[in-house]
Structure 1
């Protein structure tokens, strides 16, 4: 069994294993238009597909390549983005008609600007698809007017607006990666706008240097004088049934001018290698989506340049998953200086064999080499080894989000250490800000930038202004990289673990980190609140004492009413817990809901105080305080037969702040859910910018609710004694009535059975007299009713007697 068969089998086996990693969860989430995370948006009815962005050197102007237009946006104002000038550049009616005759949709025939680069200090070079007939032109950056008539843009810009491309201008020369034909079958990496002794170059496509590539990005490394291209293509070195996609990095030297006889006007320094973004015992993330370059820190060598990329997998087992890998320039250089694979021209199979090196592929200065050396580099351009990620591990992986674009920035924190911050755009329309720590990636926040998924072609970061621009099909969105004012307390500022933000003890505010403020409180690595905020934070038990209970929300309810107390989570990483003073929340009386709220039926036992505690990273804080009491008689309202529900903290009701006594709804009661697709809810900063505000500040201002002790204040009025007294009195009355009736009946019986004067002796009565004296009762006992003529009754002294000397109906 060959190596390719083994690799195929391993892919099949690994595809049966479901991924176990879920990735980091965003700590807080801001929905679109949330007042706690303001974003600036530019849109216009006549402007669409603003997908190519170019930021000026001073950061005050943003050039936008849109459909049939090039815009110059003024972004110097923090509160708004305004249109300074606009250049209309659209195909003629004849061009559109020819595009339609070629079988293309009319919606794809406009001029989509796909190349926008600074040529020099006064001009911008722009290229567009122009009705499937690419055009390029020079634009004055000040007046936004064309300096020359547009010329042909084949090999510089794609024909199809949906095809990805990359372009970069270095020293006035344009380096591009795109397709050079109408059908998109001729991919090229070429150089244009060369002058003097230099000539335009492109790839030699006779040997298939590129196999159906998708160009992603390009980067210039000044110290190396090389251009690096990043793309994905079909890996012909793997013998699979299906096409196996691999991610590549390729290089060319800027000094390359082509060979004299062999490789004339062709690259002599082209080489490519595989980027392997793979963790142990997992399938590789083989399809690159986007990549950004992080320059080395000040004073570090150029070899420390890092390339951060987003990768996905082509297999269904990894559907919806994304991984971030970083690659070091020194590792890329090491792979290019190693061995190269050999292509068998007869079988078109790649193999690795030890061969004598006639030349080093990828080495600069080969334009003067011999024809034998140039033929060697022409056939040996695929490096044998793969470029492994830094640390041989994934920088970040997510099983929940699919990332499409990223930007990377290095930030210096209060402790003078550098931290890497990633800005990741999801396909669902959220921008994630993640800081890379030794323990793993930590997503500080997520910000919704658009509602419906839409094409995003550019993500531009301005480190000088501290903002990031997102180009979408509807307009341009500007998002500040820091949102320190959203954290109102020291614990929240520290728990955010945002290297941009630190707590200022003097102004008691979370502010942006700067070199002038070295006294800021911050703990990016651990987020330890107890140490960082030791001077201002309070312990949970101290806040729980009777005399230090902070102001809460008063909830007035009726007995037998269903009550629901809301508990706004301080973050999506926190855990909620309910407590009562000197009482236990039994499962028989209380129901803990999934959203963290508490539900119960209002009874004399359940009236009192309730505290919701939030625990995050070992720090516990009070986020909600409620005092549930029974409605007074003058304000009680009639209740329906079914149990009503009172939701404290969710809607207005007969409740007020205990500390003020006039407000009808507390701050903690104005929380709203933000995203039902996420499992946890996060309050918007305006409604509850920081629930921990109750823990430090209002806790010191709280009224003394428990002057008589926590237990006395926690209980409402009780009617148990009254119920017992009424029940006992009713029982006594019933017993007395029964006794009187029995006594009266007994007395009557005795009076009738007493012997009377004048009654003849029992032995002298005849049988007829005895039968008559028995009366009807005796006959009834025998089942017979005597006739009225036969039923005799004797009356003696006003008393009825039977023949036996007893009362009628009395047993003998």
Structure 2
């Protein structure tokens, strides 16, 4: 069996061993323009490709690198993003012409700003692609003007606007990961802007240091005096498959100044290792998409620094899935301090063999080492071991969403415990806010950031301002990290399990959590409403059951007037996407033979005397129940059909019956309460509102349309002390009498018509034929006529019935006949 067959078999086996993924469903979803989630957009007709973001330290100014321009946006206002100044930086016509002559599209020849970093307190260092001839310049951050003439940016900025790069400035020196040639074949990790005795450094051009990398991010660890680069590349150590992609972390020391003879002006501290985002018995998620650094908590050592990354897989088994893995700095350092693979320069094959260590690759201070030691680190730069994720497991994995960018924040909850919150952006234009718990990731909310899916290029988090900035090709969007005012009841605030929010019993509002508030209702780990809200009088205690609920405590609910044998469909608003709807009736069981529970949570049934009455919709989430809707299904009191009117119900915002007041500005749920009806001359007319619903159901091949109406008061409601099931059944005595009378009349009319039809048929048969009786009567003599009458008289008198064919007055074939076929005998 060759290596390729072995690999295919391994992939197949691991695919079968992969466990079923738990579906990660956002608890609340906010579509574009939802009033429950306020977003601020910035866009301009003459500004595009706003893909590079740089946020000031105080969070009041956002610098944006766009196409042919650098923008300064004032983001200190709550409801607006204001353009303060704009620096135009575009290539000349000659530069564009030369770019086109190189065979590039004119759409790719403008100056795309790809590097924006604070050089000091007064200046920004920026670089752009500049018509496939990179340029860099110094920009005054106050006036947004160029301080010096732009200089060459090779090795600092990519040539191609579609190539990913990374850049970071530390102590006035620029560290970059990009490509250093026009064709994109020379990837480099380099240092620029060095001063004094320090010199600019880059990687050695020897084959194997980097293999077709895609740079993702870079991060500085001040206590370590090291900078870490994250990228993906072709893993040459896996020689049994072509183009096998691996994710890497590499390091360099900021104190490195290169070797004296060997590795002059080259890194002597470069080392790289594989990042392995993989769970046990599963295929690895081997392609890194984005990564962010979470500094250690206050007072914790630097080794507790965490790196959270998004990974995808090149295997078809994991196609369409995104995984999040976290890596601890102490594990990365441990891998770099271990053994290293050996590269055979003749065969370009990696091997692992125990050898004498001449030097420790990746160790700072090697610039003073011997040539023999520098040659050792030059050929041994790939760590033998891989960096495993924290807990040797995936932080979270999603089979429904392809995540492209993330940022991470540590949040202190009301119980003074720290929680990690991830902000993840999907390729379809949604932002997911997830909190990491011991039981797994919990997605608090989903916010649609862009109406049309588009590639997202940059993501910046302002922790002091509590804002998230997203940069794309069309503009910049600002998203608040917290949305506490949306949860307008204590149960909803607790069930959200948002570390940013807690329920304040004094103001009866869900407010932002802070260290000064210790009495906030909050339970991030379990979401226990009972304990967090001290809910003694919550309605989920008052459940329907025998001797549990007096009739007086049951509100009239929403009135639904129906006719018998009509199909009824009762809607039930969901408290969240994680809740389950449950229907109940007072002291009655919902038999599956009579009721149909639909997928959207609604209840459908046929209106009969048995199914009339009250219905309650209950929402259950995390062990907590609340009443979402109450309906009273009642037979129509008037036989006059109501005029149908088409109207639809907007997305409902359920309000639990435990709260007496509603808070404005929530936007997602709608209060389910009774509506009033207007009565005019004994006829009830529903007052139409946005909560009325038209329900169309198909039954026995016919479309039945039911219009529901709502009433605030029910005239025939339950009396105090009367059990709920003691509602009197309607009397049909009068209707029975009326139907019986009508039935008798109909039968009488039917019999009369039948007799009339029979009589008419007999007369038509006994009537003389046209012309015959008249002519015969005219030919008889008076004596014959008298004799004929006398014969008939004698027949009747003797009690004899006339026979067929005799002279009895019957007409047969249009002639009177006797026994001999002639006239009957007459007395002489």
Please give the range of the TM-score, normalised by the shorter of the 2 chains. Answer: 0.7 to 0.9
Paired with 1:88 and 1:714, the residues of 2 have a C-alpha distance of 81
State the match for 1:721 in structure 2: 733
Gap change, CA 1:777 and 1:47, over 3 Å in 2: farther
Question: CA-to-partner distance for each residue in 1:195-253, whole Å, 9 max, x for gaps?
Answer: 00000000002132000000000000011000000000000000233310000000000
Partner SS, residue 502 of structure 2: strand
User: Cα offset for 1:602?
Assistant: 3.9
Question: CA-to-partner distance for each residue in 1:18-76, whole Å, 9 max, x for gaps?
Answer: 76214411001000110000111111111111111111011100001111110110011
Which of 595, 609, 613 lines up with 1:608 in the alignment?
Answer: 613
Gap change, CA 1:591 and 1:711, over 3 Å in 2: farther
State the match for 1:153 in structure 2: 153
Gap change, CA 1:776 and 1:613, over 3 Å in 2: farther
- The equivalences for 1:428-447 within 5 A come to 428-447=428-447
User: Cα offset for 1:411?
Assistant: 0.5
TM-score w.r.t. length of structure 2:
0.82
Paired with 1:131 and 1:551, the residues of 2 have a C-alpha distance of 72
Aligned length: 728
State the match for 1:427 in structure 2: 427
* 1:210 and 2:210 correspond: yes
Paired with 1:229 and 1:159, the residues of 2 have a C-alpha distance of 20
User: Cα offset for 1:720?
Assistant: 3.4
* 1:347 and 2:347 correspond: yes
Paired with 1:442 and 1:423, the residues of 2 have a C-alpha distance of 12
User: Cα offset for 1:607?
Assistant: 3.4
Gap change, CA 1:536 and 1:174, over 3 Å in 2: farther
Which of 590, 595, 602 lines up with 1:597 in the alignment?
Answer: 602
User: Cα offset for 1:660?
Assistant: 5.5
Gap change, CA 1:52 and 1:779, over 3 Å in 2: same
State the match for 1:680 in structure 2: none
User: Cα offset for 1:452?
Assistant: 1.5
State the match for 1:168 in structure 2: 168
Gap change, CA 1:634 and 1:773, over 3 Å in 2: closer
- The equivalences for 1:298-697 within 5 A come to 298-535=298-535, 537-540=537-540, 542=542, 544=544, 545=549, 546-550=551-555, 552-633=557-638, 636-637=641-642, 658=674, 664=687
Partner SS, residue 775 of structure 1: coil
Question: CA-to-partner distance for each residue in 1:240-287, whole Å, 9 max, x for gaps?
Answer: 333100000000000000000000000000000000000112110000
RMSD of the alignment, in Å? 3.4
User: Cα offset for 1:422?
Assistant: 0.3
Moved more, 316-325 or 594-603: 594-603
* 1:272 and 2:291 correspond: no
Partner SS, residue 158 of structure 2: coil
Gap change, CA 1:254 and 1:729, over 3 Å in 2: same
Question: CA-to-partner distance for each residue in 1:488-546, whole Å, 9 max, x for gaps?
Answer: 11110110000100001111111110112111000000001122122365143526533
User: Cα offset for 1:383?
Assistant: 0.2
Gap change, CA 1:667 and 1:416, over 3 Å in 2: farther
**Counterpart contact for 1:563–1:648, Cα < 8 Å:** no
User: Cα offset for 1:476?
Assistant: 0.5
Paired with 1:72 and 1:577, the residues of 2 have a C-alpha distance of 53
Question: CA-to-partner distance for each residue in 1:311-357, whole Å, 9 max, x for gaps?
Answer: 00012221110000000000000000000000112221111000000
User: Cα offset for 1:554?
Assistant: 2.8
Paired with 1:229 and 1:622, the residues of 2 have a C-alpha distance of 53
**Counterpart contact for 1:16–1:317, Cα < 8 Å:** no
State the match for 1:229 in structure 2: 229
Paired with 1:667 and 1:618, the residues of 2 have a C-alpha distance of 31
Moved more, 101-110 or 209-218: 101-110
Partner SS, residue 260 of structure 2: coil
**Counterpart contact for 1:589–1:600, Cα < 8 Å:** yes
**Counterpart contact for 1:411–1:420, Cα < 8 Å:** yes
**Counterpart contact for 1:562–1:645, Cα < 8 Å:** no
Paired with 2:64 and 2:298, the residues of 1 have a C-alpha distance of 31
User: Cα offset for 1:11?
Assistant: 2.4
**Counterpart contact for 2:65–2:71, Cα < 8 Å:** yes
User: Cα offset for 1:4?
Assistant: 9.1
**Counterpart contact for 1:271–1:362, Cα < 8 Å:** yes
Gap change, CA 1:541 and 1:59, over 3 Å in 2: closer
**Counterpart contact for 1:203–1:267, Cα < 8 Å:** yes
- The equivalences for 1:41-60 within 5 A come to 41-60=41-60
State the match for 1:115 in structure 2: 115
